[in-house]
Amino acid sequence: MSNYGPPGGTPPEPPMGGDGTPPPPPPPPPPAGGYGAPPPAGGYNAPPPGGYGAPPQGGSGWDVGSALSYGWNKFQANVGQIIVASLALLVAMAVLGGIGFGILAALSSDYECRFEDDGDYVCDGGTGFFLGLILYGLIIALIMIAAQVIGAGLIRASLDITEGKPFLTSTVFKFDKMGSVIVTSLIIAAATFVGTILCYLPGLIVGFFTSYSLYFVMDKGLAPVDAIKASVNLVKDNIGTALIWYIVGGLVAGAGAIACGVGLLVTIPIFLIGTAFTYKHLTGQPVAP
């Protein structure tokens, strides 16, 4: 009598397919790590190796102390050349200021007060408040134009310092971009003039938002209107940092006037170099140590 199963110890044969062929073998096991394993290095989800969205080299580490110390250290390292260039700037500004305010005094007239025959006390003449304010704003605007034209050379040399180059007096007196500098200065001066006659505060606001215009002209070679727009956008996008430096840097620059103006030979270069440092930081450019 035959048994239906295979002999003991022998595994049963797999069932035959419908056409008499054996079924296909089972699939291989999944690769090591399974479904949830992370993708291989450099895969789709790997971070880009410093592509377009990488943070700029100069985009971190700014504070007002760093800007001031950078300006001071670079001033000490280039003191001879800086003093010569600053003296030229101050002499030119003193001459222009004297001429400007001399003209203002000549165009202004004093009030004349007297008693009339009927006993009334009458005052007449004088330039008048608004006309005097207009004349004052115009003189300030003209002095600002001259200061920016002369100071553009110092800005160029300050930008050179942030790129690891020495401060050279010859660099200050290059005039290859003077056309753009003059037009930019005229536009800023006109806007500042209008702001000044509107009770002064708007003039300060104009000066604040356009404070990096000449840096864009000297560094990037931008046209006047483009440089002013770039400065406004830069300040607007970095309002906190820009405002802190505008106030502190301005106080440092102005502090030099306390010592009969002699201190300006030190404080103005420190301010300009610190502003170049801040400009490079805000525009994401590297700064030479």
> Rounded mean pLDDT of 84-89?
84
121-125/111-115 β-pairing? antiparallel
Summarised one tens digit per residue, pLDDT across range 203-238 is 899 999 999 999 999 999 999 999 999 999 999 999
> Rounded mean pLDDT of 127-141?
71
Tell me whether residue 148 is exposed, middle or buried, using C-beta atoms within 10 angstroms of its C-beta: 0 to 12, 13 to 18, 19 or more.
buried
161 close to 74: Cβ distance less than 8 angstroms: yes
Buried b (16+ CB within 10 A) or exposed e, 245-283: bbebbbebbeebeeeeeeebbbbbbbbbbbbbbbbbbbb
> Whats the size of the chain, residue-wise?
289
For residue 119, pLDDT over 80 is answered with no
Tell me whether residue 97 is exposed, middle or buried, using C-beta atoms within 10 angstroms of its C-beta: 0 to 12, 13 to 18, 19 or more.
middle
Query: To 10 degrees, what angle do helices 129-162 and 178-197 make?
Result: 140
CA-nearest of 249, 188, 247 to 216 is: 188
Distance of CA 40 to CAs 17, 170, 239, Å? 40, 57, 43
Write down the mean pLDDT value for the chain.
78
CA angle 88, 207, 263 (to 5 degrees): 35
Which tops the pLDDT comparison, 263 or 149? 263
Summarised one tens digit per residue, pLDDT across range 25-73 is 555 555 444 444 444 444 444 444 433 333 344 345 789 999 999 999 9
For residue 85, pLDDT over 90 is answered with no
> Rounded mean pLDDT of 4-28?
50
Any idea which of 78-87, 96-105, 125-134 has the lowest mean pLDDT? Answer: 125-134
For residue 3, pLDDT over 50 is answered with no
For residue 144, pLDDT over 90 is answered with no
Neighbours of 58 (CB within 10 A): 18
Position 158: which residue type? S
How many angstroms separate the CA atoms of 2 and 137, rounded? 124
pLDDT given at position 34: 44
Summarised one tens digit per residue, pLDDT across range 145-193 is 777 777 899 999 999 999 999 999 888 888 788 899 999 999 998 898 8
How many angstroms separate the CA atoms of 166 and 257, rounded? 27
3-state secondary structure of 124: strand
CA-nearest of 251, 276, 59 to 167 is: 276
CA-nearest of 66, 258, 88 to 172 is: 88
